[in-house]
Structure 1
Amino acid sequence: MKLFTIGDSISQGFMSGAAAKTELCYSTLIAQQLGIKNYQYPTWPEEGMPVNVEKLFRNLEEKYGSSISTLEWTLALATTIPSYLDTVEKYYERGNGAADKPYPGKTSHFDNVSVRGFNVSDAWLINAKYCKKQIKENSSGNGVFSSVDNSFLRTALRVLNPQLSKEHDEKSQLDWLKYHSDKEGVENVIIWLGSNNALGTIVDLNIHFTEGNGKVTDRPSDTFIKDSNGKGKEIAYNLWHPKDFEADYIELLDRVDKILEGKNTKVFLGTVPLVTIAPLAKGVGETFTVKIENETEKDKFDDVIYSKYYTYFPFEEDFAVKTGINLGYNQVTHIDRCIREYNKTIKRLADERNKINPGRYTIIDYSKILDSMAFKRNGGTPTYKFPAYFDFQYPLPNTKYYHADTDGNLKQGGIFSLDGVHPTAIAHGLIAHETLKIMKDLNVPDADPDKLNWKKIIESDTLYTKPISLMHEIYDNKKLAEWLMDILKKIRKHK
């Protein structure tokens, strides 16, 4: 096997709130470039789950046009949107996509076992047997604006055991790595986990910090803990203390080393992007310039711009202050400090392991790449150098939240999809480009970033090639914006 991928929603090709476009994912592009003819990954109906916001907006645009009157919005919120959500729910709960229906065809496994919502420890803690049990025991009834029940677990089940066979019921992501390594050998493994050890902070706009005792996580990430206030409220951790992250990552690499012992397998480890760059959380209010130590040049400090508050993207400072729905400057810088420490840990552990198994681990610094793309954080002048194909590409994608005018012209965005968190098809192309550059340096056969078909990649990005003309409604209609925020929160597996 030339390529095996372990990751979370990014590596799954999750876009605009749904697991729907793995065929456009960076790992699929890499597999194509490496000449892999049978790289297997799960495919999903266009609706995906839990909610494909792009598909929903396309439906609204088709029915109501680029501007929607107050009366039409009443109709849309009462009938059109619930009808769409009900269609998705029926398919995944009672239709052909239900948890008790095997994946179409005879596919028994995938070469990409990435699952939305997975944090580091889920790579060995979650398997199909667990998913089946939880889905059965935690079903909820239908409701207005309801989305797919247990969508996180349903996604994991389909990826980890597509035929629902007892033979593979207890295989986690790492168990599948062992299966393929033992059966045929694996030449290259991409492991990109860790974003979900912090991502919930910007989706929830609050922080539930782990205890910091340096113990390995012992329960799947969809489980809850009791609130420390003693009121019995159940919450989920959304930010790992660096000591706890380190314990989990050591466990991850220990397990990988054991699986690959004696094997000549290259493992590419992705660093954790600074989740606060994602435009779902919009910086508002006064800005501050913070000196951050440059990782490459220890005596050099970079200027990084932070805002006083971070709230959901359609809203401004008055909303953040009046509602209390925000992360403050101190919270956001704390989140970023934690993630920077995660990445130092990943790099240090890789260096230590390479002293024992030279060349086993290679870092792909996705965090640094995204940091160089960040628009607002870099004062409006991102430093990322796009591939040559983009020299005269207009408009040039940026990390702002997606927006288009009523004539269907893209005004901003292009890197993040409509959930404000996950990459677009073009962004996946950029991730593939950067990954192939590293692979080429390591003499991985056929790894040539310059041969990516950018024309095809850009054409596949419908947000870019066919901008949504009613996007202004999200900025102009507060009620709709609040509804969208509620939908996007459902990306979080425990919602």
Structure 2
Amino acid sequence: MKLFTIGDSVSQGFMSLAAARTDLCFSTLIAKSMGLTVGTEYLYPEWLMGGLPANIEKILRRLEKKYGSDINVLDWLTILPTLEGVLDEAEDYYERQEGSAQQRYPGGIEFFHNVAIQGFDIADSWMITSKVCKYQIELSNEKGDSKDGFLAFPNAAFYRTALKVLNPSLNPIYDNYSQLDWLKHHHTTAPEGVENLILWLGANNALGTVIGLEINQTPNDPDRVLKIPSQKPESFREVREKWNLWHPNDFEAEYQQLLDRVDKIMQGNNNSPWNVFIGTVPLITIAPLAKGVGPTTEIHVDGEEKPSTYYKYYTYFPFEEDTVRETGTLHLTLQDALYIDDCIRSYNKIIRKLVDSKNSQYPQPRYHIVDLASALQEIAFKRNAGQVQYEFPEYFKFVYPQVNTKYYHADTTGRLRQGGLFSLDGIHPSAIGQGLIAYEFLKEMKKVGVGDSTKLDWKSIFSSDQLYSQPITLMHEFYDNREFAETIIKLFGRNPLARNPAMTRKFG
């Protein structure tokens, strides 16, 4: 097997709050660059009805089609039923129709080459199995969560997504398969093993802080963090979900286990050389969902050549500093943002240390760091006070309109005004952003002789990104209409990635 991918939402192609476009994600682009035939030599799940849990782009496209580029006073009487109709389509499809947990994935497919799953943290790679997913979906059904509700997501969306990825055929022999079990399956059964593994986990060990704008740190007790409750092992994640920021010691314990498990698996087939390409954890406070407002401060961080720009507050993208002060809207302070970033910087030092330790056991390195954290920091528009440091591929120099990391905005004529590298959830990359991630991986892969080119079909990537090629003319409502913005943000409050009950209390 030439390429296998283990990761979370970014590796899954999660965009605009939905697992929807794995066809556009970076590992699919890498597979094509390697000459693999997508659909046979590299398989990934497709997500119909906009995907799980809810697709913001689909919602806005539907509203745009019905109301045009403006929502007037009378239109507001019908906007919620329209939004409800879009959510109902996904809810019906994934709870009761062809996409339900009781239906096999079409075509008799038993496995995918990309087993990335939205919301996965490090330990989920071996703890979450098909059996766990089935248990949690049934438990949710018994609680009545599957009953239709207003503006409701499909129930147990996290587990429904994971089940489709981990056991698409619903074959009982795969009930105890996790992401790492599938890696073992392929590496030990395929004659050539898994030649190239993309391994990118760790972002969800901090991401909930930005989605929920609150810090709930693990207890600095690896035994507590990693322990599976003995009575109900299928419910272990309920204990872990209260945390949204891993203490570096807890992170190291999990990542050490991850690499130990991967290394043991990869040593199980010595018929051919193998490589593991590991992504570092990006500074999540760069994500445009958390908008910096108020006075700025230049912070010099050890090991970084240039200072970074931080803001007094970080709140949701439509709001300004006066909203934070006057209404008490959820926010992070400058100190919060610095603490989160310092934790993530520690994560990446830990990853490098552990990778160096693993490589010391081999005549030549098997594990290769893809420094996505540094790449994203160099791309970040506001973090660099508008002076982007990143060297984009040649194609980007004269493409118009230009793209950046600011939150997406287009005017009523359909012209992109800002953004383009992040999707509408303000966290996950757009198709163009996914292309840049592929570019970073390909540069490292080329260094070690896996492929001989970093070229990508940028023209196709840009045209496939409908946020760029067909800008949404309704976007000004996000910025001009607070009621509309809060309605959409309510969706984030029920997002299973949030890991923050306070957010649901505020907006849910």
Q: Is 2:407 the partner of 1:401?
A: yes
Task: Give the total of aligned pairs.
Answer: 479
Q: Give 2:238's aligned residue.
A: 224
Q: Give 2:289's aligned residue.
A: 280
Q: Deviations over 1:169-218 (max 9, x none)?
A: 11000000000000110110000000000000010110110001233523
Residue from 462, 470, 486 that aligns with 1:482: 486
Within 1, Cα distance between the matches of 2:323 and 2:243?
Answer: 26
Q: Is 2:327 the partner of 1:323?
A: yes
Structure 2 residue runs without a partner (length 5+): 229-233
Within 1, Cα distance between the matches of 2:325 and 2:371?
Answer: 35
Within 2, Cα distance between the matches of 1:145 and 1:422?
Answer: 22
Within 2, Cα distance between the matches of 1:119 and 1:396?
Answer: 33
Q: Is 2:350 the partner of 1:348?
A: no
SS of residue matched to 1:223: helix
Amino-acid identity (%): 52
Structure 1 residues 221 and 327 mapped into 2: Cα distance closer, same or farther (>3 Å)?
farther
SS of residue matched to 2:44: coil
Give how far 1:321 is off: 2.0
Q: Give 2:443's aligned residue.
A: 437
Q: Which amino acid aligns with 2:438?
A: A
Q: Give 2:313's aligned residue.
A: 309
Give how far 1:222 is off: 7.7
TM-score w.r.t. structure 2 length?
A: 0.92
Q: Is 2:45 the partner of 1:45?
A: no
Q: Deviations over 1:412-438 (max 9, x none)?
A: 001100000000001111111111111
Cα contact 1:61–1:469 (8 A) shared by 2? yes
SS of residue matched to 2:297: strand
Q: Deviations over 1:18-76 (max 9, x none)?
A: 11100001000000110112200001114111111111111110110001102102211
Within 1, Cα distance between the matches of 2:236 and 2:409?
Answer: 33
Q: Give 1:289's aligned residue.
A: 298
Structure 1 residue runs without a partner (length 5+): 227-234, 296-300
Residue from 400, 414, 423 that aligns with 1:417: 423
Q: Is 2:99 the partner of 1:97?
A: yes
Q: Give 1:370's aligned residue.
A: 376
Cα contact 1:122–1:221 (8 A) shared by 2? no
Cα contact 2:315–2:331 (8 A) shared by 1? yes
Residue from 51, 55, 58 that aligns with 2:58: 55
Within 2, Cα distance between the matches of 1:182 and 1:250?
Answer: 22
Q: Give 1:169's aligned residue.
A: 175
Q: Which amino acid aligns with 2:9?
A: S
Give how far 1:225 is off: 4.0
Give how far 1:83 is off: 1.3
SS of residue matched to 1:302: coil
Within 2, Cα distance between the matches of 1:189 and 1:326?
Answer: 38
Within 2, Cα distance between the matches of 1:318 and 1:225?
Answer: 36
SS of residue matched to 1:363: strand
Q: Give 1:191's aligned residue.
A: 199
Cα contact 1:401–1:420 (8 A) shared by 2? yes
Within 1, Cα distance between the matches of 2:202 and 2:453?
Answer: 27
Residue from 201, 217, 220 that aligns with 2:209: 201
Within 1, Cα distance between the matches of 2:421 and 2:226?
Answer: 32
Give how far 1:490 is off: 3.0
Give how far 1:323 is off: 3.0
Within 2, Cα distance between the matches of 1:223 and 1:437?
Answer: 36
Q: Give 1:68's aligned residue.
A: 71
Q: Is 2:344 the partner of 1:339?
A: yes
Give how far 1:492 is off: 2.6
Give how far 1:448 is off: 1.1
Within 1, Cα distance between the matches of 2:30 and 2:495?
Answer: 26
Within 2, Cα distance between the matches of 1:12 and 1:250?
Answer: 23
Cα contact 1:33–1:447 (8 A) shared by 2? no
TM-score w.r.t. structure 1 length?
A: 0.94
